[in-house]
Structures are given as C-alpha cells and as structure tokens.
Chains A and B, each alone.
Chain A
Amino acid sequence: MAGIAPNVRIFQDRGGSAREIITPEAVPLIVELAPLSERAAAFIIDFVFWNLAVFLIVFPISFLKIVDVTPEIVVGLMLLVSFIIRNTYFLHFELAWRGATPGKRIVGLRVVDRNGGPLLPSAVIARNLTREFEVFMPIVVLLSLEEVTVGQWAQWLSFAWLLAIGAIPFLNRDRMRGGDLIAGTIVISLPRRALLADQAQNEFRYSFTDRQLLAYGNYELQVLEQVLRGAETSLYSNEMLRQVGEKIRHRIGWTGEVPLALEERFLRDFYTAERAFLEREQLFGKVRPDKHHQGGPR
C-alpha cells in the first residue's frame, strides 16, 4: 500500500501552482503544477501521433478487400485498433520515459507521484486506462450514429458523464483529472534550467557602507541580477543601465561621480556588495525580503 502516514501532510500546498514533494532523503523539492493549457497541448500532440499510427494500419486494410468491407467494419476496426494503439502508446512511453509521452516531452511535462514516492507501474497503468473510462468510451457512445443497443438515454448519459469528468481538473487545486485521482499522481512542468555565470565578482572599484546596503532587500537584489544578465547579453544599453544606476545612487545617497563607461561596473560592484550583505544578514536570521521590510540600522 502507498506509504501515507495518517494525519501527516507530506504533500504541501505552497500557494499558486507551486507544490512541495518530499524525497525519501527528506528534502522538500518544489514542483510547478502544469497549466491545463499545456496539458491540453501535450494531449493534442499525442493525439496526432497515435492517430497517425492508427491511420497507417487501418487505411491499407480497408483497401485490401479480403472480406467485403462495409463501413460498419471499418468503424469497428478503427475502434479496436485505436484502442490497442493508444493504450500501448501511453503505457509504453510513460513507463520507458519515466512519466513523459512524446507530447509531454515536447511541452516539458512530467507525471510524478504526488507523495514524492517512485512512480509505480501500477499508477501509470491506472492513470492511463482510466482515460478509457473517462473519455474515449463515452465519446464512442456519444458519436455512434446508429441506434445504440442501450438506447437514446446512453447518449445523454455519456454527455453528462463527459461534462462531469471534464470539470474535475478545474475543481481540485492540484489540477488532477479522474485518472490522477485514482492513481495518486500529478502532472508537473519541468523545463530545463541552465546554470549561468555568477554575477558576483572578485574585484571591486566601488565599495559601500552597511547603511547604504540596508536600502534594499532580496527582491531588488534579484531584479538587479536579471538586469546584469541582460547587460551581459547586450539586451540593455548603457543608457538603460545608467537609469538603473541613477535610481540606486539616489536611494542610497551616493555622492560620487560614475562615468557612463563604468556604469555596468558600478552596478556589478553594488550587486556583489549587496548580496554579500544580505547573505550575511540571512545567516544571522535577519531576512530582508524587500526594501519595504522594517528593521532599521543596528
């Protein structure tokens, strides 16, 4: 049985679409829930792939004339082949690619166990074959043109069923569809992030006092980090950097002159000094989330 200790919330809500899962090493990892739009995009890509495969199999057969091919048989064959293909497709890829199908991989999504445990084969099987119950079989009933053996009410029922199932991901905070609920899984966004160069540096031209550095907090530091990364790739011109520099100098009460050519240098020095200052403060337990944080000079 899944190892959930009663009354202990392993899986925690961190607000918005960020969630926390705890690894077996007891380190909390932050995951981003995939937006439903991205999941729909991944599904459409997969839909195209598997139907291409179905078409490639069914199309030649319907022209082979082994038996007298009536439209009824082609439809039956389509249903059967697509049933087999799509289930093989989803199960194979989510197992072999650890929770990703080609569509999910292109969009950058992964299926994970919501308790931070390993993604078990039984969970993969459960979440995928549930899709049959959730969507495909009701759709087949809904779209069947001839009189269904069960009668007209079956079509209305399928329609209501589809509406109810379709509403589930919108109604729970973790955007789980029915299959996710049954399998205990969530779908997360997993973009690849690169480690970029450290913006802090070893040598300084300008130095700052603690009072000046108290003017800002973590938030502003990280905005400045973005600006400096932009400057590295020439996204920001010297004039734009100048504006940022002027603003900082005004706020910290800087009196000296900074030539235009050295503006980037000034910002980089300020960033390094500010980061060193805030990291030291944080180590002493004095976190400054942003410039509005109360806590004057010592």
Chain B
Amino acid sequence: MVAQVESIGVENRIDEPRPRVLLRSSEFRRVREDDWRALEILIGKAEKRGIRSLSAEELQRLPLLYRSVVSSLSVARSIALDRNMLAYLENLSLRAFLVVYGPRTTLWQGMSRFFAHDFPAAVRGAWPHLLIAFLALMAGGLAGFLLTVGDEQWFSSLVPSGLAGDRGADSTREALLNREIFGPWEGAAHAFALFANTLFQHNTMVGILAFSLGLAAGIPTVLLMIHNGLIMGAFVGLHYNRGLTYEFIGWLSIHGVTEFTAILFCAAGGLLIADKILFPDRYSRVQSLAIHGRVAGRIALGAVFLFFVAAILEGGFRQLVSSTDLRYAIGWGIGLLWLLYFVRAGRRKES
C-alpha cells in the first residue's frame, strides 16, 4: 500500500493505520530552505573575508535573511523534531547574529576611540577615587618626609634595599649629587635596560597591586598608596637634610609626574572596583562588577600607556638632561599636557 504525504489532517481512530501522513516540518523546510542556504553563503563569505567583502546588494539582504532565519528558528523549535535541522538553524542563527552584531571597528579605530574618548572619560568619572588615592599618597609622603628629616634611620626602614641602592643615612651630599642626580649617562644599552626594568618590574607590580587589591574592599589599595608615599617622602627627606631638595625633585619630576599619575590611576581603578562591589546600587554584585569593571579596566589600561611614557623618560631622558630647570620644565610640562588631556579630551562625543 502506498500513501502520499498531504497537508491536511485526517480524523482517524487509534488502531487504524493512517492512510496519509502530515509532516509540517518537511513542508516548512521545503518553503524556507532557499533563504537559509542564501544566508549560509553570505555568512561563510563574511566569516572568511570580512564583512567588507560583501557587495552593497548582499549587505542589504543580510539583515533581511538574518531575521528570516531567526524567525524560522523560532517556528522550528515549536513544530519540528528534525534534530539536524534544529541544530543547523541554531548554529546558523548564532553565526549570523555574530556577523550582524559584530564589532565594525578596526584596531586603529578602536584605539583612537579609546584614547580620544573612553580613557579620559573614565578618568573623569573616577575623580573621587583619584582624589582618595592622591590624598593617601600625599599623607604617606608627608609622614615619610617628617620621619626621615627627624631621624635618618627611618630611611633604611621605610625604603626597600632594592630601591635605596647605596643611598642611606651615610650618603654625603657630593655622592648624591654626582652619582645620582647628575650621574653620567651610561649609554643607550644601560638606558634601555633601565627602561625595561622599571616598566616591566617595579611599576607594573605596584600598578597590578593597587588595581587588583581593589577586589579586597580597597583598603589594601589605600595602604599601598600610603606606603608609596612614605618611600617618596623618605627620599625627599634624605635630600632635604643635605640641601638638595630642589635638585632632587627636579630629578624625580622628569619621569615621576607621569609615573605617579599612572600609579594613582591604577589605585583609582582599584578603588572604583571596591566601591562598586561594596555598594552595587540596584545591581547584583557580579553585574555591578561587569559594568564598572570595564570603566576601571579602561583606567588601568590607560595607566599602562602612562607607565610606558614614564619608563621612556626615566630610561632615556633623565640622565641626558642635566639641567635641573629643564628637568622641571619637561616633567611638569608633560604633566600639564596630561591634565589638559584628561580634562578636555572627548567631551563633545559623550555617548
């Protein structure tokens, strides 16, 4: 006995063989399959050679076909039991979704948007956190300075030996002047090694710590800022006692202005995270982290760039420029540029 598939339902009893079979899913597939295949070809092309390889006409068809396939998927889920067809539609819809809603920017556009808008806007948004980090650093600096000026033994207990080098309570004014502040330029090789060393070891460790300790409610971040301030204050105190304050701050300024800005940014990012975890507002804590983490991440990433600049200044220019006045001019001039950049940049294109 040969039966034909027909698209009309037939009343029949449970023990009677059905003379005709109604297969809606096959009919559905027959009508829609051309659209699916067309979209599959477009998506394959876009995945392989980028969305720019599609012609104007193809680009026009893409969203229409995408919507048609997504609606096919919705229907198929409720009427079809063909496993392969369902899996295919799920897969095709997802691939098309990723092409249709994928990023349309190149690396260059993304980077320029980041520096022209996202980064300065994120920094401006975190000004209370920056202020807290700054005050902690300054408080530490003041304490370190006063302690060291009063009793120079504090210097060796505040400053780790790796950072202090051969400097300490025994250093004479001449030693500090000739070996440190106006030490000779030891050539490109040494400058480069110093560059890599400061960038990839000391600075980043401090940055990583300041940022990531934000996860621990931010208190360690504040402590770290105070600690950094203490070290800086101890150095200033040591030089103050030998009448070298002006020269030392000039020596420090040339890269320090940028470097401390970067450290403060990392700390502000950490404090922002701490703030949003502790006070998630109307979101869950994880949601809050996901939303504000991006902003905090932007600040920290921009800080990496600042560390880069600071390391170039420290490795390359600090010993080359031997005039203290010029050091002030360079260090604070760049600082002024940073200030202008963070206050002014990307104001027009707020989104």
A residues with a Cβ closer than 8 A to B are 1-2, 4, 6-7, 23-25, 27, 29-31, 67-70, 72-73, 75-77, 79-80, 83, 88, 91-92, 95-99, 110, 112, 114, 117-126, 129-130, 132-133, 137-138, 140-141, 144, 147-151, 154, 157-158, 161, 181-184, 190-196, 198-200, 202-205, 207-211, 218, 221-222, 225-226, 229, 272-273, 275-276, 278-280, 282-283, 297-298
- Nearest-Cβ distance from residue A273 to partner chain B, whole angstroms: 6
A278 to B222, CA, bound (A): 65
- Nearest-Cβ distance from residue A183 to partner chain B, whole angstroms: 6
> Are A195 and B106 closer than 8 Å at their CB atoms?
no
> Are A190 and B212 closer than 8 Å at their CB atoms?
no
Given contacts A181-B293, A195-B36, A282-B81, contact A70 B189 (CB under 8 A): yes
> Are B3 and A207 closer than 8 Å at their CB atoms?
yes
Q: Is B45's CB within 8 Å of the partner chain A?
A: no
Residue of A nearest to B118 (CB): A122
Given contacts A122-B114, A150-B160, contact A29 B93 (CB under 8 A): yes
Q: Is B5's CB within 8 Å of the partner chain A?
A: yes
> Are A141 and B188 closer than 8 Å at their CB atoms?
no
Residue of A nearest to B204 (CB): A137
**Hey, what's the 0/1 contact readout for B191-215 against A, CB within 8 Å counting as 1?**
0110111111110110111011000
Q: Which of A29, A77, A83 contacts B97 (CB 8 A)?
A: A29
Q: Which of B73, B74, B188, B196 contacts A80 (CB 8 A)?
A: B196
Q: Which of B80, B88, B195 contacts A76 (CB 8 A)?
A: B195
> Are B212 and A133 closer than 8 Å at their CB atoms?
yes
> Are A193 and B88 closer than 8 Å at their CB atoms?
yes
Q: B residues within 8 A CB of A141?
A: 200-201, 204-205
Q: B residues within 8 A CB of A137?
A: 200, 204-205, 208
- Nearest-Cβ distance from residue B220 to partner chain A, whole angstroms: 12
Q: B residues within 8 A CB of A79?
A: 196, 199-200
> Are A95 and B196 closer than 8 Å at their CB atoms?
no
Q: A residues within 8 A CB of B74?
A: 27
> Are B70 and A23 closer than 8 Å at their CB atoms?
yes
A116 to B93, CA, bound (A): 13
Residue of A nearest to B52 (CB): A96
Q: B residues within 8 A CB of A158?
A: 205
> Are A92 and B84 closer than 8 Å at their CB atoms?
no
Given contacts A137-B208, A138-B208, contact A96 B50 (CB under 8 A): yes
Q: B residues within 8 A CB of A203?
A: 2-4
> Are A272 and B23 closer than 8 Å at their CB atoms?
yes
> Are A211 and B14 closer than 8 Å at their CB atoms?
yes
- Nearest-Cβ distance from residue B26 to partner chain A, whole angstroms: 5
Binds A, one of B132-140, B142-150, B282-290: B282-290
Q: A residues within 8 A CB of B294?
A: 2, 122-123, 126, 182-184
Q: Is B113's CB within 8 Å of the partner chain A?
A: yes
Q: B residues within 8 A CB of A279?
A: 23-25, 79-81
Q: Size band of the B side of the interface?
A: 35 or more
Sample of 9 more A-B contacts, CB < 8 Å, known A150-B160, A282-B78: A98-B103, A122-B114, A125-B114, A126-B293, A147-B162, A195-B33, A211-B14, A275-B25, A279-B80
- Nearest-Cβ distance from residue A269 to partner chain B, whole angstroms: 9
Q: A residues within 8 A CB of B344?
A: none
> Are A184 and B82 closer than 8 Å at their CB atoms?
no
> Are B4 and A202 closer than 8 Å at their CB atoms?
yes
Q: Is B301's CB within 8 Å of the partner chain A?
A: yes
Q: Which of A27, A204, A225 contacts B21 (CB 8 A)?
A: A204
Q: How many A-B residue pairs have CB under 8 A?
A: 283
> Are B19 and A207 closer than 8 Å at their CB atoms?
yes
Q: B residues within 8 A CB of A218?
A: 81
> Are B293 and A204 closer than 8 Å at their CB atoms?
no
> Are B88 and A209 closer than 8 Å at their CB atoms?
no
> Are B189 and A275 closer than 8 Å at their CB atoms?
no
> Are A76 and B197 closer than 8 Å at their CB atoms?
yes
A229 to B199, CA, bound (A): 60
Residue of B nearest to A206 (CB): B1
Given contacts A29-B90, A124-B110, A150-B160, contact A132 B21 (CB under 8 A): no
Given contacts A2-B290, A125-B114, A182-B296, contact A149 B188 (CB under 8 A): no
Q: Is B225's CB within 8 Å of the partner chain A?
A: no
> Are A91 and B90 closer than 8 Å at their CB atoms?
no
Q: Is B105's CB within 8 Å of the partner chain A?
A: yes
- Nearest-Cβ distance from residue A265 to partner chain B, whole angstroms: 12
Q: B residues within 8 A CB of A76?
A: 192-193, 195-197
Q: Which of A31, A122, A198, A229 has the most CB of B within 10 A?
A: A122
Q: Which of A98, A114, A157, A298 contacts B99 (CB 8 A)?
A: A98
Q: 18 interchain pairs (CB within 8 A)?
A: A72-B189, A88-B107, A96-B50, A137-B200, A149-B202, A150-B201, A151-B160, A190-B91, A190-B98, A193-B92, A195-B37, A198-B85, A200-B82, A204-B1, A208-B17, A210-B13, A279-B81, A298-B14
Q: Which of A27, A193, A229 contacts B70 (CB 8 A)?
A: A27
Residue of A nearest to B101 (CB): A118
Q: Is B95's CB within 8 Å of the partner chain A?
A: yes
A137 to B207, CA, bound (A): 11
Q: Is B29's CB within 8 Å of the partner chain A?
A: yes
